[in-house]
Structure 1
Amino acid sequence: MLEIFLKTLPFFLLIGTGWLAGHTRFFPEQATAWLTKFVFYFALSAMLFRFAASVDIQRLFDPSFVMAYLTGSLAVWALAIGVAFWRGLPLAEAAMEAHTAMIGNTGFLGVPMLVVLLGDNAIGPVLMVLTIDLVVFSTLITLLVTGARQGRITAATIGPLARGIVANPMIVSMLAGLLWSRLHLPMPAALDEYLSLLGAAATPGALFAIGASLAGRSAERLGPAIWLSSAKLVLHPLAVTIAALFIFHVEPFAAGVMIAAASLPVAGNVYILAQHFGVAAHRVSTAILISTAVSIATLPVVIHWITKG
């Protein structure tokens, strides 16, 4: 257990370094925004392309894996939106809370951390989780919030949503890499070295940016944020575990990667969505802060459990 904690500690120390730089204003908000953009459009995209290009596309898509992750995630989503309705929240706020309860930081934290800790065989399952989150659940939250505001969902809503998904650099880089793999194209040494160098900046850059972005957040709306953080760190991995191991009988290693991904803290892009729509931004921000801090203790426990079978 101590060994796993020490392996995860450097990742969280990088987050802490970013937080310290942001908290002291040595790294201002504008710098954080530009670093995030660099990681998002360049470093992380290079890493995802290189990972996807090395995956056997015929073995990537496993229907039982997809159904297990969707089932577990939707169960938590339904519970969270039900609790929000019970508290008297309108549809847009309830949907944003449900989104917060089951969208983990797979892109900026999960991809670099889980591949390092669990090995290259984790690449395929991590990419599948990331794809489902980006395509299925990002679409769902956008449709619900837009429909709640306009009273209905129209063709004018679908067009920009589809363009946004297609233009997402993480989706584009993964699809391009998978196409490269499917066509069995050779990877020139110079291109591989370029992608490796650029992709290597994704891990420290993303973790530093996470920490720096947390420095500007204050703990507000603690009650709802604690509930959402608990749902993300406890209920989401528990629901995914039940679905993967006892309902759909996913292959053990892939199930372990899925459970580890479900154990990640709330993703930073959930706050971007909340801020963009003007819905529940404070409680989402606080949930990101709390879940990231608590995951320093919870993630090593989950990964230790997975690696010990």
Structure 2
Amino acid sequence: MLQIFLVTVPFFALIAAGYAAARGGALPLAAIPGLNVFVLYFALPCMLFRFGAGAPIGQLLDAGVVLIWGLCALIVVGVTVALSRNRRIGWNDAAFGALVAAFPNTGFMGVPLLVAILGGQAATPTIITIAFDMIVTSSLCIALSRLDGADEHGGAKAVRQALRGIAQNPMPWSIVLGGLASATGLVLPAAMDRTITMLAEAASPVALFTIGAVLARASVLAREHQASAVVAKAMGSASALSPKAPLGDVLPVIAIKLMVHPLLVYGVARAAMALGVALAPSTLVTIVLIAALPSASNVSMLAERFGADNARIARIIFWTTVAAFFSFPLVAGWLHGAP
């Protein structure tokens, strides 16, 4: 257990450093989108390409991982939406709450952390889960979020927007290109390979620092949001903003993400293995640890874009990240002793 803590501490320390830098003003909030662009469009795609190119193509097409991870993601989305919807939370907010419950921070945090703990063998199942969550889980939740709309074409429009977002996201394409390089045995020119390697090596520290900065930005914007609401209410404005989400709207989603999700993946994987699905023990450990990661930080930006209660979503992301400092090593230690 202590050894796992020693591995995870530097990762969470970089997140804390990014949070402190943005919250303290050393990193201007206006600079955070630039960090996001570097990580999302340059560093992480190069990291994923390298992992994909270095893995046998058969491993990248592991149907067992897709089946287990996909089934669990759909269950988490369905359960979270069912538990979340009430008079305060409609389809839009419930859908994005489900997305933060089902979508771990795999790209920014999971790839470097799991490779550090488990070695390079963890990269392939991690890549598979990233692709599924980007293409299926995100699209499903965005489509569900439109069910509140009066426009009868809202669902179809949301699906088109989700597909357009996937097409514009470089990470799935980097996975595809890496897989093609693996299948064809492509060897890049030395100068290009070195450039990709340098960008890939920058991905881990910058991505972790960026997570902290994004969380700080969300916290600052939420505080300014609340201040505006107080002023508007004092002036009798009809457009006063809603109060902070009650803990009852936040804590269940946090529990689902950090406790229910990894236990569900473990249970479904064990059942699938008992039914004859081929799954290596190392792959089982990897996908359970992926499920134990905190919520993906980019969901906050999606929620803001689609008009959901971003303060609630940012709060869930923040507290899953803080709590994961303790819960993730516990899950890793439990897996070490599990049969």
Instruction: Indicate if the aligned counterparts of 2:104 and 2:293 stay in contact, CA closer than 8 A.
Output: yes
- Extract unaligned runs of 5+ from structure 2: 224-243
Q: Quick one: which of 262, 286, 289 aligns to 2:318?
A: 289
Note closer, same or farther for the CA distance 1:211–1:88 as it changes in structure 2 (3 Å cut).
Answer: closer
Give per-residue Cα distances to partners, 1:78-127, cap 9 Å, x unaligned: 11111123566322222222112111100100011111211100111000
Counterpart of 1:36, as a letter, is N
Give per-residue Cα distances to partners, 1:179-211, cap 9 Å, x unaligned: 111111124433332212111111110111111
Note closer, same or farther for the CA distance 1:87–1:231 as it changes in structure 2 (3 Å cut).
Answer: farther
> Hey, what's the Cα distance between the residues in 2 that align with 1:45 and 1:78?
30
TM-score w.r.t. the length of structure 1 is 0.94
* Map of 2:249 onto structure 1: 224
- Could you say which structure has the greater relative contact order, defined with CA pairs below 8 angstroms and 6 or more residues apart? 1
Following superposition of structure 1 onto structure 2, how do residues 3-82 of structure 1 map, counting pairs within 5 Å? 3-82=3-82
Note closer, same or farther for the CA distance 1:190–1:308 as it changes in structure 2 (3 Å cut).
Answer: farther
Give per-residue Cα distances to partners, 1:1-37, cap 9 Å, x unaligned: 1111011000001111111111110001111111111
Tell me how far 1:245 sits from its aligned partner.
1.4
* Structure with the greater alpha carbon radius of gyration: 2
TM-score w.r.t. the length of structure 2 is 0.86
Following superposition of structure 1 onto structure 2, how do residues 68-107 of structure 1 map, counting pairs within 5 Å? 68-85=68-85, 89-107=89-107
Counterpart of 1:233, as a letter, is L
Instruction: Indicate if the aligned counterparts of 2:15 and 2:208 stay in contact, CA closer than 8 A.
Output: yes
Counterpart of 2:208, as a letter, is L
* Map of 1:165 onto structure 2: 166
Whether 1:277 aligns to 2:306 is: yes
* Map of 1:264 onto structure 2: 293
Give per-residue Cα distances to partners, 1:191-248, cap 9 Å, x unaligned: 3322121111111101111111222315842332222111100011111111111234
When the two chains are superposed, the root-mean-square deviation of aligned CA atoms in Å is 1.9
Secondary structure, counterpart of 2:194 in structure 1? helix
> Hey, what's the Cα distance between the residues in 1 that align with 2:313 and 2:156?
29
Secondary structure, counterpart of 2:167 in structure 1? helix
Secondary structure, counterpart of 2:256 in structure 1? helix
Whether 1:246 aligns to 2:275 is: no
Range with bigger deviation, 210-219 or 267-276: 210-219
Note closer, same or farther for the CA distance 1:256–1:89 as it changes in structure 2 (3 Å cut).
Answer: same
Whether 1:301 aligns to 2:302 is: no
- Extract unaligned runs of 5+ from structure 1: none
Range with bigger deviation, 31-40 or 67-76: 67-76
Aligned-pair identity in percent equals: 36
